[in-house]
């Protein structure tokens, strides 16, 4: 099962999902400042990259497609973090 890279990535996605769920439900995001929130969004961005590169099979795609999708992921993640930060001020 773990010889295939897709299976390893799938397990990593499950672990990252569990970690983000735990961080969100633990209450740390309200008391510890931005650190847990940034960790949750870093994990979410890593999950997005795994999906883009491996499950959508864009690892060997033309550079334009990779730039568009990774740029979109970075933009959306950045806007959500910015909105959270503005809301905390």
pLDDT digits (tens, 9 = 90+) for 22-33: 888 887 766 667
Q: Given this model, what pLDDT does residue 76 score?
A: 94
**Domain carrying residue 15:** 5-88
Q: What is the pLDDT of residue 69?
A: 95
Contact between residue 21 and residue 40 where contact means Cβ atoms under 8 Å apart: no
Question: What Cα–Cα distance (Å) separates residue 57 from each residue in 18, 51, 68, 73, 74?
Answer: 24, 8, 14, 16, 19
User: What per-residue confidence (pLDDT) applies to 49?
Assistant: 93
Q: Which residue has the higher pLDDT, 80 or 30?
A: 80
Number of domains in the chain: 1
CA pair distance 89, 76, nearest whole angstrom: 20
Rounded CA gap, 60 and 66, in Å?
Answer: 9
Question: Is 53:77 a contact under the CB 8 Å cutoff?
Answer: no
Give the DSSP H/E element, type plus range, for residue 49. helix 35-50
Q: Reply yes or no on whether the pLDDT at 13 is more than 90.
A: yes
């Amino acid at each position: 099962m773990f010889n295939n890279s897709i299976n390893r990535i799938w397990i990593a996605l499950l672990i990252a999902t569990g970690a983000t769920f735990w961080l969100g439900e633990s209450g740390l995001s309200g008391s510890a400042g931005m650190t847990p929130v940034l960790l949750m969004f870093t994990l979410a961005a890593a999950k997005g990259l795994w999906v883009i590169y491996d499950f959508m099979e864009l690892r060997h795609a033309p550079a334009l497609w990779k730039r568009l999708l990774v740029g979109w992921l970075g933009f959306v993640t950045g806007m959500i973090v910015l909105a959270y930060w503005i809301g905390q001020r």
